[in-house]
Amino acid sequence: MVKRRGGRALEFLPLGLPEAVPRKMRSLSAAALPPQIPDVRYLVLATDYDGTLAADGKVRAEAIKAVKRLRESGRKTVLVTGRELDDLKTVFDRLDIFDRVVAENGALLYRPQTKEEMLLAEPPPLELYERLRARGVRPLSRGRAIVATREPHEVDAVEVVREMGLEHQIIFNKGAVMLLPPGVNKQTGLAAALDELCLSLRNTVSVGDAENDHALLAASECGVAVANAIPSLKERADLVTRGARGEGVEELIERILEDDLRSVVDARHALLLGVRRNGSEVRIAPAGRRVLFAGPSGSGKTTAATGFLERVMGAGYQCCIVDPEGDYQEYEGVVCIGTRDRAPAVEEVLELLQKPQNHVAVNLLGVPLPDRPALFASLLLRLQEMRSRSGRPHWIVIDEAHHLLPAAWRPAPLTLPRELGGVLLITVHPESVSPAILAALDIVLAVGEAPEETLRPFLRGREPARVELGPDEVLSWSNGQIEPLKLVPGKAQRRRHQRKYAAGDLQDQAFVFRGPKGKLRLRARNLSLFLQMAEGVDEETWLHHLRQGDYSRWFREVIKDEALAAAAEEQEKRKDADESLRGIREAIEQRYTLAE
């Protein structure tokens, strides 16, 4: 049964669901990619033990076989439990079927193959255990980092923690009561295990049944509740199995092996693309999509694309950006490889991408133009191979796509473009991009003037209708449907705009102090210069523009800051030059960091 989270339906672009069979990759050219690289999204299964994999502490033989089959498919398995490790070993002797075991509700990491342990939290104070014992709390155990009992002793636990002035948290698990250091839970333990395996939460399926599994399911790309799970966990899960406990886990594994959970709707992680004029949000599935941003030079297509890219990275999806012009050198959160004087090495890129938290920009400025397609083909080959092993990078961003995937490029019979998911392309000339790539796109966003002309290659001979776009709007094409969308700017874009207005060069949009007789020509090309000149002009000039509402008009129309314009309008009601200048200065300085 597929569940929608929180009962709230999300609206998706009509992109359709992927096929319910594992996909196969083929080559860029006859010799570029090895055939039949599987396109697998879910590479890790993280499962709770009691009430999920096990019933009454015991695991069915069929469940053990299912976990082994999953590992044989090349995937990894992680057991995540609230039990103490020694206790777990007494009831379950097949920890070898897991790549990692997270015990004590996230506080202890165990490597079954080497029998090594790693404590992920501070050990509990002995006094905590002794005070609980003195109160007659039974049962009571003390692990490497956990102190555990059962209901109704949660009251004793709260009182002792308060008496000792500790920060310890109390976590419940169907009657079990666990005391742990702050910030420790199944999510943090799983993250530590995945870090060792060089895998991502965005490629992980987690399954559980109890209160302490909320963090585990919420952090994973797909959260699954078995049929016997508590109601609140079922409500928040992406999928609820028909079977209970081990049978539910077996059912989940069969679905993973059958279709890589392609039939599970990605509502929870859907990425915000834009907002329609009626106010409804447009979101797209986070995996396997092919998106193109196109528009004339200077139209803002790269800015629009990076706003979306910021949300992709913020959601935990790893990105590799192919950057022909060095536009991403200062992009926050991205590691840049290559300079104007040094070509990037493919091995360097792959090494950085081994850590799921790393986003990499491959700067091609140091690569001669004729050599760039070959380097790109080599890089794409290795990225695809990496994806087959780790599911990452989740998104490949190709700027100046018309140079790297030109119209003359001909892949082996249309297989690669339709299988190369998680791709964001940026180009000034969509008509110059390979037709095979264009045919595989899910959505195109036309930016700048005459967007309908930009979309002409996708209209199949139909004459495009003229569309008037408002501020921050683009023209969207998907499955033959065209509509305006208002893009949501990213934080980096807003910061760049703030720097531009605070200390940049607005050129023809500068504020000009002319004075009442029009004799002055003092051009303030940014807010910093505006304030400097405002301090220096005579009172008559300042009041002349104040009374005409010139300051609020400039802030609204050029700086595009409605709040600043409103603050200026309040000051324009004043008659005193010093007071109004002081008020406008304060309003600007509250919103912008000005140049020294």
Nearest to 444 by CA among 313, 289, 214: 289
CA distance 426 to 424: 7
Same structural domain for residues 370 and 352?
yes
CB atoms within 10 A of CB 519: 8
Residue 96 pLDDT more than 90?
Answer: yes
Rounded to 5°, the CA angle 22-361-200 comes to: 40
Same structural domain for residues 291 and 390?
yes
Domain assignment of residue 136, given as a range: 121-183
Same structural domain for residues 151 and 291?
no
Q: What is the pTM of this model?
A: 0.75
Q: What pLDDT, on the 0 to 100 scale, is given for residue 263?
A: 84
Q: What pLDDT, on the 0 to 100 scale, is given for residue 499?
A: 54
Residue 461 pLDDT more than 80?
Answer: no
Rounded to 5°, the CA angle 230-236-237 comes to: 85
CA distance 305 to 271: 13
Which structure tokens are listed for 163?
């008496």
CATH number at residue 425: 3.40.50.300
In a domain, 23, yes or no: no
Q: What pLDDT, on the 0 to 100 scale, is given for residue 146?
A: 93
**Contact assessment for residue 241 and residue 454, using Cβ atoms and an 8 Å cutoff:** no
Same structural domain for residues 587 and 550?
yes
Same structural domain for residues 463 and 376?
yes
3-state class (DSSP) for residue 14:
coil
Helix, strand and coil content of the chain, in percent to the nearest 5, comes to 40, 20, 40
Q: What pLDDT, on the 0 to 100 scale, is given for residue 167?
A: 87
Q: How many CA atoms lie within 13 A of 2 on its CB side?
A: 10
Q: What pLDDT, on the 0 to 100 scale, is given for residue 28?
A: 29
At 58-71, the pLDDT tens digits run: 999 999 999 999 99
**Contact assessment for residue 527 and residue 559, using Cβ atoms and an 8 Å cutoff:** yes
Same structural domain for residues 308 and 456?
yes
Which structure tokens are listed for 391?
């599911």
Q: What pLDDT, on the 0 to 100 scale, is given for residue 37?
A: 37
Residue 419 pLDDT more than 80?
Answer: no
Q: Which of 101-110, 292-301, 543-552, 579-588 has the lowest mean pLDDT?
A: 292-301
At 235-273, the pLDDT tens digits run: 999 999 999 999 999 999 999 999 999 888 777 889 999
* Choice between 354 and 461, residue whose per-residue pLDDT is larger: 354
Residue 537 pLDDT more than 80?
Answer: yes
In a domain, 2, yes or no: no
Q: How far is CA 12 from CA 192, 459, 483, in A?
A: 33, 22, 14
CA distance 579 to 568: 12
At 304-319, the pLDDT tens digits run: 898 899 999 999 999 9
Same structural domain for residues 501 and 536?
yes
Residue 415 pLDDT more than 50?
Answer: no
Same structural domain for residues 384 and 284?
yes
Same structural domain for residues 247 and 174?
no
Same structural domain for residues 175 and 226?
no
Q: Which of 74-88, 106-120, 278-292 has the lowest mean pLDDT?
A: 278-292
**Contact assessment for residue 360 and residue 337, using Cβ atoms and an 8 Å cutoff:** yes
Same structural domain for residues 161 and 205?
no
Counting the structural domains of the chain, the total is: 4
Nearest to 550 by CA among 516, 586, 576, 582: 516
Sign of the Cα torsion 126, 127, 133, 134 reads positive
For helices 126-134 and 154-164, the axis angle rounded to 10 degrees is 130
CATH number at residue 253: 3.40.50.1000
Q: What pLDDT, on the 0 to 100 scale, is given for residue 14?
A: 33
Which structure tokens are listed for 504?
């940049």
Same structural domain for residues 401 and 414?
yes
Average pLDDT, the chain: 86
**Contact assessment for residue 502 and residue 593, using Cβ atoms and an 8 Å cutoff:** yes
Residues whose CB falls within 8 Å of the CB of residue 260, separated by 6 or more in sequence, listed in order = 22, 40, 41, 42
Nearest to 150 by CA among 183, 123, 124, 174: 174
